[in-house]
Structures are given as structure tokens and as C-alpha cells.
């Protein structure tokens, strides 16, 4: 083996190259380990290319379904006093239209594109946790279908996609619809978080060697920011849905004013998620545009670093704007001013991106193919949406147009312009990378023209309807208010838009041909996803030396196919991908990946059944499904964490280990992200506790009725004992001490962790505090409930670790399972201590002050 001569592109050390031709058995071996299951068994596949396809297909299906609901809405509103839909049906339909578009289309579609594109774009063989990605898909798809089907049984929720209590409490929504929303959507959010964890670790740790953060494509940046935003935003709404469901099922009055609750708490939590959600959807779409524009203009993106800064700034600002959805709720003027300023500030990073794209177009020569048309349409529509967004950020203007059709028009301009048009650009742009035939340019132009004209006709007039006084979410309206022409035009436009979509579906049927060898780099683009691929992704992983490797080295595709670069074979005889350092992209570790199987499919379907059967109050059956789901997960995890296979060569002179533990391991990173999710959820809880106290201090008990401090200290004692047991267990494992001692310590520590919760509940009950009596009781008992949730996870992983210890699969060296357990355990200890301090300590301060 010798190294190829250095190229101009690679300054400094030349990248390692293998001699060619490579032995033919290398490619045979690669194809063998990455082979897809045959026939219908392909559903057990976990390759990102297959799961990504299914994922985007499912998201598109929900787009069509929710789009049909939109057409029904526009049909009903075409003329005043229309009797096409009944009041109740309409209320269900508009609730489902919003909910399905946001939760079942927009977020999953973006996540799906990430799953489909990221590994190839980053030069990885697959995402780091392919089964987790496949699990997330199946959970979403099955849960989503059942959720949508509630419409056909008149069981769909009708409280609006924002589900404001008290309307959605049992008093005003006694049916099952609200429960389907709360449990169904809560479940799908869990799937979105699973996907986000996978994307964060994938982007940070599985890039091609040499791909520093500065060389990383903008789309990967946007997916990183997207996933990080999900991690911090989704927990707020998960907590809110938990509290509302607990209120509905068990009568804990979080949102009932008569018992000290407050409906505005829901709005704060919902919009703390809901506003970032808009950028969660928009940023990846902007990332797609940042990939498409340079390729179509054949020049590098202008202001690459400015765009990265803009993306991060958007993600950051978007968490400071949620109150602009609540300008009319009677919030103090000072807060209004602050949130108005923040709402305007968030427009600035979008301005930077907009002019960077225009600058890139100016720097090159834009090829007027269908993807470019959709990008130009996006720029026009999104600019209008941004301008009306600045208007509604002005508080006095918002007081008028809030909850009117002006706002409906505004956010359709932002979401359809900012997300759907880039998505269609992406469909036309990336189809040749995944289909043996590109989509039709001739049909594509028509699709664009119909969608662009139809969209503007459908939504521009609604601005005016809103200014003329038409409120949102009305199932009909009287004539004589001047709204008729705008509504009729809008309905006509909706059908033109739908015709465009229909034509696109036709194009898909005629030209999308997955499975075969892809049509390839028809746009002469410069990024890695355009390298020739098979089921194994790229034949060999190139060393990346710039932002546009294919432009830097025109010979790269040939070299890659010939196996000149990293990992031209399976080094360990199983699926594997190179793990690199997070910032500099240096090869560090060869991660072995799992093979196809059914356990994650079973786990996902059983978990969906668990949540949905709970809604139907079939508790026994639900529990059976829950246990089945956990059993399937254990079966799936049992084969993970394979033993050390020694160091292997991934390129000439580059030898990496096949087993690492601690922070070097992707599993450690995934667990850290999960801890951030749990912490965000708990901070939302702390916020809720303090919020309810500021609203209703009168339901907080006097000092004399607080729990006995002895119980509190006993609970703290349990947590300390648990911590000591964990530390001692860690020492025993590190020094390869007797497994029986380790098992005893883990068992004792877990029992102590559970004991702390029992003592907490006992202390509160002994003091006569009950969760159903008032908001204080409810929010106090929420702490052990949340702690119980985390503790249950620690106990399951702990038992799993004990089983592996017994089977000899957990040792001083092979310890990733224990590391993972330890991280979550430490988190549970911290959360438990914070919870005790808050629920046992804070009332003393409050009582003493009041």
C-alpha cells in the first residue's frame, strides 16, 4: 500500500489513498452485509435510504390527507351561510388540518429528509442509530394513521390545534377526541425526539474524515439546529399534554381557575413549543435552499459563515418570542414591549439568508430548472410572509388582526412559502440522487405555475378578509360584511393549488423509480450526496477538504467508486460507519451498526397501541401492549454493544478502535442529549410550579400544614444512599470487582431511588395534601409523577444491565451499557433532589413570605 500524491485541494497532509484496483471480494463483502431484505421483508430494513423513503412517503401522505381537509374547509367557506359541512364536523376538520399539517407532515417531512439525505451528504454509511430512526418512523406512521382515522368515526378532537383549556377540559370536551389528541400527539412527539437525538449525534459524530464543522454543508447545520430546537421546545408541550391529560383523567386541576389553576399556563407552555416550531419547520427548508441555490447557480454559497451565524441566531431568538401569540391575553405592557422587540429581531437573520441567496444567484448563472423556480417562488412568498410577520409583531396592529384571517394568510405565507415550496424544490432537486429517473421538467414547470398562482390566489385575499373583520375558526359567516369576494377567490385558488399537487403526484407515478441505480449528478452539484451510491452508501468514504468536494476534485466520484478512500470494505464483517470527532472531523472509531430485524417494528406498533388503547380506556390490553413494547426493545438492545473486535485499519496508516466507552462513544452523546430533553421537561415543570404560585398563592398552604421535615430528610437520605451505591458500583466495575457485589450495589441503589419517591408521596399524603383538591396539590404531586417516569427508565435500564452482567456481557472493558445507565441515574438523582427542594422547600419560603 502506498499513498497517492497530494492534490492541490488538500493543503498540508495529503489524504490517505488506497492502491487500485481493489480486490473484488471487498465490494462483494460490502454488498453482502448491507443487503436489503427481500420482498415485503424490506419493511424490516433499517438502511437510511429505505427508512428515509418510507418516512418521506408517509409525511407526503399526511400532507395530501391534511390538504384534502384544507379543501373541505375552503369549500365550506366559499360562500356565506354554507351548509356543506355541519358545525361540529367543521370544527373537527379544522382542528385536524392544523394538527396533521404541523405534527404529522411538517416536522416528520423535515426529519425524513434528514434521514434520507444526511448520511450520504456527510459521507457516512448510515446514521449512528439506524434502528432508533426506523423505530421513530414506525411509531409515527402507525400512531399517525390511527390518529387520522378518528375523523371517520366522529371521534376526532375539535378544540383547535392549540387545544386551549378550559375548552379542552372534561367539562367542555367530554368526548374522547381531546384524549386522542393529547396521547396521540404526545406519542408522536416522542418519536420526533428520538429522531432528533439520532440527527444530532449523526451530524456531530459521523461526518466523513476531514469534514470540519466549517466545511459541513448548510443543510446539515440546519438539521443540527432543528434537532437541538426539538430537544428544548418539544418537552414543554409534552409536559403540557401530560398535565392536561392527567387533569382530564384524574381531576388534577392544573388549568381550572376555581381550584387555583390557570388556563394561561397552557398557553405559555404550548407557545414556548409552538413558536420555535415555526422555525423548526423553516430552518431545514432554508437549509435545502442553501444547497439548491449554489448547485443551480454553479457557484459557492455567498456568506456561508454569515448564514451559519444567522441559523444559530434564529434558533436562539425563537425561544424568546412565544408571548407574541398571547399579546391579547392581558399581559403587562412591559412584557409586551420585550416580546415585540424580540419578534422583530428574529426577522434579521432571515434577511441575511435572503440576501445571501440573492448574492449567490448574482455570483453565478441560475439554471432555470424546476428546483430554481420553486426557490424563486419561495423567495417571493416568504418575503411577503416575513413582512406581514413584522406587522403582527407590532402590538397595536396585532391587537386588531390577532385571530383573524389576516393571521391565517400570514402563517400560510410563512409555512407554505417557507417550507412547502422549498420542499418541492428539494423533491425535484434530489430525486435524481434516489431515483433511476429524474422527475419531469415539463410537468415540473406546470406544477410550479399551478402551485404558485393557486397559492397566491388562495391566500392573498385572506389578508383583506381579515382586515375586514373575519375571525379565524368560524365554520360559516353571514353575508353583508364584505367578505364574500375574498372567500370565493380564496376557495378557487385552493383548487388551483390542489391541481398543482395532483400533477405532482402524477409526475411521481410516472418518473419516480426507487431501487435501481440513481440517475446521478444531473445538476453537477458539489456535495457528497451526489457521489455514486449503493445500499452501503458510498463505496469508499472520501477525505473532505472543502465545502464542495466534487467541485474541488472532479475525479472524486471515480476514486470513490474504485475504493481509493476510507473504508472500501467491511473491516469487521458487519455493517459499520466511521465515527469522527465533533469539531475537526478526525476519524476516531469504527462503529458497528445493527442489521435489519423486526423487534423495533414490534416495539413501535406496540407502543402506539399502548397509548391509543389508553384513550379507549382498555387499560389491561394497553398494559399488555406496553410490556410487549418494552420486551421488544430489550430484545433489540440485547444484540447492541458488541464486544471489542480490536483495532482495524480504515485507511492506509489510519488505525481506529472498534470499541470505545465514555465520551468517545456515540451512545454517551445520545444519552447526554436525552438528559437535555428530560431537563428541559423538568424546567418546564419548575416554571409551571412557580407560575401557578404567582397566579394563585392563596392555595399554597400555611407553614403549619406543610409535611413533616423528617420525611423530607428521609427522602434526601434515600437519594444520597442511591448515589453512594452508584459510585461504589462504578468503582467495582472499573476495578473488575466481583459481579455479585456490583449486582447488589445496583439493586440497592435502584431500590433507594424508588424509595425516595415513596417517601415523598407519603410525606405529602400525611400532611393531607391531595392532588385533586387544588392546583397546589396537583403541581406538588406532579414532581413524584415526573420523577417516577425517569426512575422507571433507570430501573428498566438497570435491570437490563444486571441481565447483561449475569450473561457476561457487561465487564470492565465492555461497559457502554453501564455508562449509559450511570448518566441517566445521575440525572435522576439531580432531578429528584431539585424536585424535593422545590416541593418541600419552596412552600416554606412562600408560607413565610405570605
Partner 1 sequence: MTFARVRSVPLPMAPPGALALGFVLSGCAGPQSMLAPAGAEATDVFHLSLVLFAGAGLILAWVVVTLALALFGPPGVRAVLSSRRAVLVAGLGVPLVVLTLLLVVGLMMMRERTLWPEDGPRIAVVGEQWWWRVTYLAPDGQRIAGANEIRIPVGETVTLALDASDVIHSFWVPSLGGKRDMVPGRTNHLRIRAEREGRYRGQCAEYCGGAHAFMALEIIAMAPDAYRAWLMAAAEPPAPPSEALAIEGQKYFLSTGCGACHAISGTPATGLIGPDLTRVGARRQIGSAMLDTSPETLARFIADAPAHKPGTLMPAFPMLAREEIDAMAAYLWSLR
- Binding track over 418-457 against partner 1, x by CB under 8 A: ----------------------------------------
The strand pairing partners of 471, in sequence order, are 404
Output the CA–CA distances (angstroms, integers) from residue 845 to 113, 440, 453, 458, 818, in the order listed. Answer: 50, 69, 61, 56, 39
- Cell representation of residue 60: 407526503
Q: Which of residues 59-98 bind partner 1 (CB under 8 A)?
A: 86-88, 91
What angle separates helix 370-393 from helix 421-434, to the nearest 10 degrees? 150
Q: CB of residue 634 vs partner 1: minimum separation in angstroms? A: 44
Pick out residues in 636-675 that bind partner 1 (CB under 8 A). none
Residue number with CB closer to partner 1 (54 or 310): 310
CB of 366 to partner 1, least distance (A): 6
Helix (H) or strand (E) holding 648: strand 648-651
Residue (262 or 576) nearer to partner 1, CB:
262
**Who's near 528: CB < 8 A, 6+ residues apart?**
120, 121, 122, 123, 208, 538, 542, 544, 549, 550
Choices 26-34, 401-409, 564-572, 619-627 (CB under 8 A): range interacting with partner 1:
401-409
Residue with cell 459541513: 216
Q: Which of 146, 167, 499, 634 binds partner 1 (CB under 8 A)?
A: 167
Among 71, 306, 648, 727, binds partner 1 (CB under 8 A): 306
- Pick the piece of the chain touching partner 1 (CB under 8 A) from 340-348, 558-566, 606-614, 717-725: 340-348
Least distance (Å) from partner 1 to the CB of residue 413? 11
Tell which one of 118, 218, 356, 602 touches partner 1 (CB under 8 A): 356
When asked if residue 545 is in the footprint of partner 1 (CB under 8 A), the reply is no
Q: Which is nearer to partner 1, 177 or 186 (by Cβ)?
A: 177
**Residue 214 interacts with partner 1 (CB under 8 A)?**
no
Tell me the closest approach of the beta carbon of residue 445 to partner 1, in angstroms: 17
Site stretch for partner 1 (CB under 8 A), options 102-110, 124-132, 152-160, 238-246? 152-160
Interaction of residue 178 with partner 1, rule CB under 8 A: no
Q: Is 614 helix (H, G, I), strand (E, B) or coil?
A: helix
Tell which residue, 129, 122, 212, has the closest CA to residue 581: 212
**358 versus 655: smaller Cβ distance to partner 1:** 358
Stretch that binds partner 1, among 159-167, 191-199, 574-582, 605-613 (CB under 8 A): 159-167
Of residues 111, 247, 277, 398, which one binds partner 1 by CB under 8 A?
398
Q: Can you tell me which of 22, 215, 472, 513 binds partner 1, judged by CB under 8 A?
A: 472
Tell me the C-alpha to C-alpha distance, in Å, between residue 62 and each of 86, 141, 144, 224.
23, 9, 8, 24
Between 205 and 402, CB nearer to partner 1:
402
Q: Residue 614 in contact with residue 249, Cβ under 8 Å?
A: no
Q: Which residue among 464, 637, 699, 821 contacts partner 1 (CB under 8 A)?
A: 464
Nearer to partner 1 (CB atom), residue 193 or residue 393? 393
Beta bridge partners of 649: 655
Pick 275 or 402: Cβ nearer partner 1: 402
Counting contacts by CB under 8 A, is residue 691 touching partner 1? no
Binding of residue 391 to partner 1 (CB under 8 A): yes
> Judged by CB, which is closer to partner 1: 16, or 385?
385
Q: Where does 483-552 have alpha helices with state H?
A: 484-511, 549-552
| Minimum CB distance to partner 1, residue 633 (Å) | 39
How would DSSP label each residue in 714-778?
HHHHHHHHHHHHHHHHHHHHHTT--HHHHHHHHHHHHHHHHHHHHHHHHHHHHTT--TTT-HHHH
For position 401 contacting partner 1 by CB under 8 A, the verdict is yes
Of 158 and 537, CB closest to partner 1: 158
Told to check if 474 binds partner 1 by CB under 8 A, we report yes
Stretch (H or E) spanning 579: strand 576-580
Give one word for 301, left, alpha or beta, with left for phi > 0 and alpha for psi -120 to 50. beta
Nearest CA among 36, 59, 189, 216 for reference residue 126: 36
What is the spatial distance between Cα 490 and Cα 316, in angstroms, rounded to a whole number?
35
Considering the rule CB under 8 A, would residue 354 count as an interface residue with partner 1? yes
Considering the complex, state which of residue 111 and residue 398 has its C-beta at the smaller distance from partner 1. 398
Indicate whether 366 belongs to the interface with partner 1 (CB under 8 A): yes
Of 27, 249, 312, 352, the residue at the interface with partner 1 (CB under 8 A) is 352
Is there binding between residue 294 and partner 1 (CB under 8 A)? no
> Total binding residues for partner 1 by CB under 8 A?
82
* Closest CB 530 distance from partner 1, rounded Å: 24
Of the CA atoms within 13 Å of residue 444, those in its CB half-sphere come to: 22
Rounded Cα–Cα distance for residues 116 and 52 (Å)? 4
Torsion of Cα atoms, 199 then 143 then 325 then 257, to 10°: -130
700 half-sphere exposure, CB direction, 13 A CA radius: 23
Q: Does 363 bind partner 1 (CB under 8 A)?
A: yes
Alpha helical stretches, state H, 327-393: 333-345, 347-363, 370-393
Of 42, 45, 231, residue with least CA distance to 134: 45
Piece in contact with partner 1 (CB under 8 A), picked from 171-179, 268-276, 534-542, 756-764 = 171-179
Q: Does 175 bind partner 1 (CB under 8 A)?
A: no
Give the contacts of 176 (CB within 8 A, at least 6 positions apart): 150, 155, 615, 616
Residue among 42, 155, 344, 834 that touches partner 1 (CB under 8 A)? 344
Q: Going by C-beta distance under 8 Å and a sequence separation of 6 or more, which residues neighbour residue 209?
A: 15, 541, 543, 544, 566, 578, 580, 585, 586, 587, 651, 654
For residue 333, state whether it binds partner 1 (rule: CB under 8 A): yes
766 binds partner 1 (CB under 8 A): no
Among 4, 10, 75, 397, binds partner 1 (CB under 8 A): 397
Residue of 37, 263, 520, 652 interacting with partner 1 (CB under 8 A): 263
Q: Which stretch binds partner 1 (CB under 8 A): 169-177, 586-594, 732-740, 827-835?
A: 169-177
Pseudo-torsion of CA 38, 42, 48, 52, nearest 10°?
A: 130
**Identified binder of partner 1 from the candidate list 23, 175, 482, 643, rule CB under 8 A:** 482
Distance CA 135, CA 194 (A): 8
Q: Verify binding: residue 396, partner 1, rule CB under 8 A.
A: yes
Task: Looking at residues 226 to 255 of the shown chain, list those that interact with partner 1 (rule: CB under 8 A).
Answer: none
| Nearest alpha carbon to residue 838 among 781, 769, 768, 766 | 781
Q: Is there binding between residue 400 and partner 1 (CB under 8 A)? A: yes
- Closest among 694, 828, 774, 845 to 268, alpha carbons compared: 694
- Tell whether residue 308 is a contact of partner 1 (CB under 8 A): no
Task: Give every CB contact of residue 156 below 8 A, 6+ residues apart in sequence.
Answer: 92, 93, 95, 96, 150, 177, 180
Interaction between residue 353 and partner 1 (CB under 8 A): yes
Binding flag, residue 262, partner 1 (CB under 8 A): yes
The verdict on 758 binding partner 1 (CB under 8 A) reads no
How far separated are the first and last CA of the chain, in Å rounded?
79
Shortest distance, CB of residue 363 to partner 1, whole angstroms? 4
In whole angstroms, the minimum distance from the beta carbon of 171 to partner 1 comes to 8
Residue 348 sits in the site that holds partner 1 (CB under 8 A): yes
Is residue 154 a contact point for partner 1 (CB under 8 A)?
Answer: no
467 makes contact with partner 1 (CB under 8 A): yes
Q: Which is nearer to partner 1, 396 or 646 (CB)?
A: 396
Amino acid at each position: 500500500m502506498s499513498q497517492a500524491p497530494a492534490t492541490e485541494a488538500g493543503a498540508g497532509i495529503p489524504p490517505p489513498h488506497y492502491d487500485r484496483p481493489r480486490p473484488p471480494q471487498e465490494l462483494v463483502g460490502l454488498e453482502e452485509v448491507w443487503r436489503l431484505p427481500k420482498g415485503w421483508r424490506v419493511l424490516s430494513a433499517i438502511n437510511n435510504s429505505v427508512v428515509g423513503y418510507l418516512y418521506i412517503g408517509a409525511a407526503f401522505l399526511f400532507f395530501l390527507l391534511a390538504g384534502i381537509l384544507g379543501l373541505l374547509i375552503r369549500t365550506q367557506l366559499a360562500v356565506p351561510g354554507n351548509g356543506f359541512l355541519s358545525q361540529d364536523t367543521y370544527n373537527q376538520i379544522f382542528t385536524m388540518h392544523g394538527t396533521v399539517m404541523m405534527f404529522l407532515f411538517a416536522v416528520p417531512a423535515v426529519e425524513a429528509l434528514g434521514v434520507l439525505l444526511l448520511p450520504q451528504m456527510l459521507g457516512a454509511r448510515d446514521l449512528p442509530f439506524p434502528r432508533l430512526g426506523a423505530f421513530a418512523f414506525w411509531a409515527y406512521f402507525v400512531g399517525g394513521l390511527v390518529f387520522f382515522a378518528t375523523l371517520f368515526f366522529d371521534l376526532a378532537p375539535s378544540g383547535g390545534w392549540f387545544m386551549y383549556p378550559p375548552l379542552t377540559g372534561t367539562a367542555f370536551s367530554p368526548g374522547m377526541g381531546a384524549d386522542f389528541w393529547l396521547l396521540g400527539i404526545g406519542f408522536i412527539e416522542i418519536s420526533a425526539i428520538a429522531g432528533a437525538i439520532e440527527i444530532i449525534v449523526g451530524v456531530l459524530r459521523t461526518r466523513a474524515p476531514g469534514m470540519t464543522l466549517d466545511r459541513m454543508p448548510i443543510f446539515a447545520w440546519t438539521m443540527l439546529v432543528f434537532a437541538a430546537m426539538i430537544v428544548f421546545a418539544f418537552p414543554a408541550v409534552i409536559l403540557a399534554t401530560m398535565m392536561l391529560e392527567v387533569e382530564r383523567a384524574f381531576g388534577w386541576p392544573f388549568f381550572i381557575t376555581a381550584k387555583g389553576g390557570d388556563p394561561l399556563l397552557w398557553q405559555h407552555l404550548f407557545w414556548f413549543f409552538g413558536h420555535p416550531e415555526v422555525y423548526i419547520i423553516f430552518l431545514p427548508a432554508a437549509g435545502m435552499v442553501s444547497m439548491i441555490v449554489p448547485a443551480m447557480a454553479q457557484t459557492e454559497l455567498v456568506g456561508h459563515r454569515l448564514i451559519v451565524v444567522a441559523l444559530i441566531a434564529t434558533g436562539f431568538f425563537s425561544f424568546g418570542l412565544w408571548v407574541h401569540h398571547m399579546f391579547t391575553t392581558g399581559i403587562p405592557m412591559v412584557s409586551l414591549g420585550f416580546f415585540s422587540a424580540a419578534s422583530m429581531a428574529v426577522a434579521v437573520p432571515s434577511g441575511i439568508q435572503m440576501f445571501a441567496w440573492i448574492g449567490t444567484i448574482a455570483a453565478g448563472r441560475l439554471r432555470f430548472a424546476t428546483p430554481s423556480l420553486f426557490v424563486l417562488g419561495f423567495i417571493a412568498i416568504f418575503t411577503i410572509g416575513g413582512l406581514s410577520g413584522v406587522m403582527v409583531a407590532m402590538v397595536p396592529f396585532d391587537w386588531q388582526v390577532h385571530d383573524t384571517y389576516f393571521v391565517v394568510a400570514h402563517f400560510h405565507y410563512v409555512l407554505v412559502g417557507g417550507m412547502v415550496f422549498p420542499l418541492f424544490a428539494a423533491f425535484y432537486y434530489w430525486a435524481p440522487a434516489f431515483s433511476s429517473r429524474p422527475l419531469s421538467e415539463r410537468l415540473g414547470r406546470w406544477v410550479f405555475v399551478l402551485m404558485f398562482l393557486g397559492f397566491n390566489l388562495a391566500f392573498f385575499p385572506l389578508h383583506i378578509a381579515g382586515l375586514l373583520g373575519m375571525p379565524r375558526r368560524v365554520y360559516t359567516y353571514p353575508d353583508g360584511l364584505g367578505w364574500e369576494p375574498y372567500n370565493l377567490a380564496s376557495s378557487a385558488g385552493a383548487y388551483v393549488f390542489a391541481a398543482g399537487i395532483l400533477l405532482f403526484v402524477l409526475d411521481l407515478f410516472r418518473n419516480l423509480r426507487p431501487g435501481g441505480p440513481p440517475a446521478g449528478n444531473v445538476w453537477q452539484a458539489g456535495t457528497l450526496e451526489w457521489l455514486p451510491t449503493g445500499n452501503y452508501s458510498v463505496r469508499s468514504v472520501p477525505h473532505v477538504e472543502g465545502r464542495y468536494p466534487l467541485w474541488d476534485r472532479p475525479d472524486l466520484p471515480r476514486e470513490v467508486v474504485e475504493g481509493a478512500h476510507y473504508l472500501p470494505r467491511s473491516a469487521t464483517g458487519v455493517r459499520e460507519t466511521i465515527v469522527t470527532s465533533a469539531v475537526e472531523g478526525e476519524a476516531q472509531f469504527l462503529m458497528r451498526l445493527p442489521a435489519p430485524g423486526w423487534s423495533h417494528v414490534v416495539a413501535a406498533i406496540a407502543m402506539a397501541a399502548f397509548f391509543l388503547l389508553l384513550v379507549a380506556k382498555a387499560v389491561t390490553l394497553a398494559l399488555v401492549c406496553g410490556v410487549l413494547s418494552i420486551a421488544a426493545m430489550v430484545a433489540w438492545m440485547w444484540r447492541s454493544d458488541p464486544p471489542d473486535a480490536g483495532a482495524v485499519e480504515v485507511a492506509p496508516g489510519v488505525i481506529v478502535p472498534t470499541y470505545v466507552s465514555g465520551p468517545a462513544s456515540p451512545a454517551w452523546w445520545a444519552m447526554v442529549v436525552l438528559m437535555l430533553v428530560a431537563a428541559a421537561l423538568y424546567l418546564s415543570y419548575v416554571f409551571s410550579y412557580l407560575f401557578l404560585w404567582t397566579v394563585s398563592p392563596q392555595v399554597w398552604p400555611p407553614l403549619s400544614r406543610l409535611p413533616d421535615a423528617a420525611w423530607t430528610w428521609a427522602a434526601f437520605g434515600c437519594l444520597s444512599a442511591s448515589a453512594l451505591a452508584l459510585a461504589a458500583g462504578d468503582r467495582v466495575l472499573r476495578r473488575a470487582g466481583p459481579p455479585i457485589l456490583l449486582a447488589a450495589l445496583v439493586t440497592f441503589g435502584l431500590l433507594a431511588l424508588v424509595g425516595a419517591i415513596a417517601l415523598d408521596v407519603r410525606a405529602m399524603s400525611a400532611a393531607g395534601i391531595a392532588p385533586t383538591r387544588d392546583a397546589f396539590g396537583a403541581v406538588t404531586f406532579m414532581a413524584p409523577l415526573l420523577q417516577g417516569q425517569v426512575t422507571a427508565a433507570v430501573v428498566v435500564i438497570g435491570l437490563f444491565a444486571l441481565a447483561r452482567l449475569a450473561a457476561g456481557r457487561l465487564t470492565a472493558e465492555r461497559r457502554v451499557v453501564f455508562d449509559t445507565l450511570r448518566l441517566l441515574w445521575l440525572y435522576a438523582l439531580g432531578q429528584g433532589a431539585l424536585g424535593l427542594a422545590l416541593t418541600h422547600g419552596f412552600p416554606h419560603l412562600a408560607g413565610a413570605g405570605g
